[in-house]
Structure 1
């Protein structure tokens, strides 16, 4: 009986899964616990950290709740006590919401608010991973976003449908969302002023990436007989145009455009938004999309995947 208890205890203490793989969710909560402890030490010893992350909020009062609910709770999660998620996540949600409102009203503690937002997102993903063993990304491609082959249309129909989609995406992801982020960034008082040279580079990057996006969209609609959207996937595998060099030129273009908008507007948060979007797309959406392409095009797609990189352009040199 005692041996069985010790085995269960050792299993909980281990940061590996039953298959011997590293349990990144528990590793994250361990790092979060240690980082939280170091942050509180900094709050009580370095005035600059306290002002940047808490503003005029009462540090002692918050510490009475945060140390047991956040630091110790994260440590318990790292040790394998999954029930701790029902304490840690509600607390992080409450603190994040309160900090966000406080920072918007007072224009202080913006750095602390951003840290809590990042902590909330990562904690939520880690908790999901801990409870079900994976991130259920398949739920992101259901309903109107489910993968469907484009209906039969002439080239002109696919072209105009793709053009309208492209304009809507550009308006939302390159104008509306960055504009909201920029307003929040200024209100939280966490702006950085980029040098003029970097902003000019952003203009060049935006022009280049937009050209790549248009080229990719035209190729997709004319050669693939479909659109870039999952709900209207191409009827033919597209391996020409920019797709000769990289498997996801539209994703490369979109991410570069987002970063460029951040550089032009001198907003580091917009740059982070674009890069974070690239990571989420790469980890959650791309595997689903490529599985669908492999199902539809079988060996043709597998050969293409083996010969053309996802992100880094593949240059094919012809030899005589």
Structure 2
């Protein structure tokens, strides 16, 4: 039963958080959601590659929270266990990386400086949230297990070899 609740909660949070931050907000900032308008060669394919790769990464990350951690990414319904498997063996914050990659992909796809600027603001907010709330909370909740993970796995740029903690 706990797994079903975790999946349902993660699905709702997926719509509420990344759906709004990486979906609704870029749509509000540009009226070009209908048609890629880039005149520079390569920007549209690069944008699509970033968006599709980020979507796969985001889905994988959310699934890890529900299935491995038995919880959600939402602070109000945290995981029972520290999530360190899958993509989390390479980077500590794959959800944020995926959301920012989606925003960047849309900025490229729609040649939108407004979306690019929004991405910078979103990145600053995410970095602040991670450093000021998330990391201290995880350190208190998971103690030495989180500290070992934090020392071995980078925050934003993935390590090439998976951590085997």
TMscore range, shorter length: 0.7 to 0.9
CA–CA distance in structure 2, aligned partners of residues 317 and 256 of structure 1: 21
Could you tell me whether the CA contact under 8 Å between 1:174 and 1:258 is conserved in 2?
yes
SS at match of 1:165: helix
Which of 157, 160, 164 lines up with 2:5 in the alignment? 157
Which residue does 2:34 correspond to in 1?
none
TM superposition shift of 1:272: 1.8
Which residue does 2:14 correspond to in 1? 166
SS in 1 for 2:76: helix
* 1:175 paired residue number: 23
Separation in structure 1 between the aligned mates of residue 109 and residue 22 of structure 2, nearest angstrom:
12
User: Cα offset for 1:233?
Assistant: 1.3
Instruction: Give SS of 2:61's match.
Output: helix
Matched, 1:286 2:130: yes
**What is the CA-CA distance between 1:176 and the residue it aligns to?**
2.2
Moved over 4 A (4+): none
- Which of 209, 226, 230 lines up with 2:71 in the alignment? 226
1:235 aligns with 2:83: no
> TM-score scaled by structure 2?
0.87
CA contact (8 A) 2:92 2:156 kept: yes
Larger Rg: 1
More helix by share: 1
Q: Is the 8 A contact 1:293 1:301 kept in 2?
A: yes
The equivalent of 2:106 in structure 1 is 261
| 1:158–1:225 Cα contact (<8 Å) kept | yes
Describe the superposition over 1:18-68 as per-residue Cα deviations: whole angstroms up to 9, x where unpaired.
xxxxxxxxxxxxxxxxxxxxxxxxxxxxxxxxxxxxxxxxxxxxxxxxxxx
Q: Which of 271, 287, 307 is 2:152 aligned to?
A: 307
Q: How many residues align?
A: 157
**Unaligned regions of 5+ residues in structure 2, if any?**
32-36
Give the C-alpha shift of residue 193 in structure 1.
4.4
Task: Give the structure-1-normalised TM-score.
Answer: 0.46
Give yes or no for contact 1:194–1:263 (8 Å, CA) kept in 2.
no
| 1:3-18 alignment, distance < 5 Å | none
Q: Structure 1 CA distance, aligned partners of 2:99 and 2:160?
A: 21
1:209 and 1:314 mapped to 2: Cα distance? 17
Alignment of 1:118-197 (within 5 A): 154-183=2-31, 193-197=38-42
- Matched with 2:50 is 205
CA contact under 8 A between 2:38 and 2:110: conserved in structure 1? Answer: no
